[in-house]
Amino acid sequence: MEISHRFAVPADAPTSQGRLRVIYQNAWKWNYGPFMQDIHEGMAYDIPVHVKADPASVTDISGSAADITVYPNPFAETLHITVAADGDYTFSLLSLQGACAAQFQARLTAGETFSCSPRIPSGVYILTVTDADGSSPAVRKLIHR
CATH number assigned to the domain with residue range 56-144, chosen from the 4 options 3.60.15.10, 3.30.420.10, 1.10.10.10, 2.60.40.1220: 2.60.40.1220
pLDDT digits (tens, 9 = 90+) for 28-79: 555 555 555 555 666 676 767 766 665 544 444 444 455 889 999 999 999 9
Instruction: Name the residue type at position 33.
Output: G
The radius of gyration of the chain from alpha carbons, rounded to an integer in Å, stands at 22
pLDDT digits (tens, 9 = 90+) for 88-104: 999 999 999 889 999 99
Residue 75's φ and ψ, nearest 5 degrees, are -125, 150
Which pLDDT does position 29 carry in this prediction?
52
> Measured between alpha carbons, how far apart are the two ends of the chain, in Å?
38
Please report which confidence band the pLDDT of residue 87 belongs to, taking 50, 70 and 90 as the band edges. confident
What residue segments make up the domains of the chain, in order of their start? 16-51, 56-144
Residue 75 is predicted with a pLDDT of 94
Q: What is the pTM of this model?
A: 0.56
pLDDT band at 85; cut points 50, 70, 90: confident
Residue 55, pLDDT score: 52
- The pLDDT, as a whole number, for residue 143 is 94
* Better pLDDT: 22 or 104: 104
pLDDT at residue number 74: 93
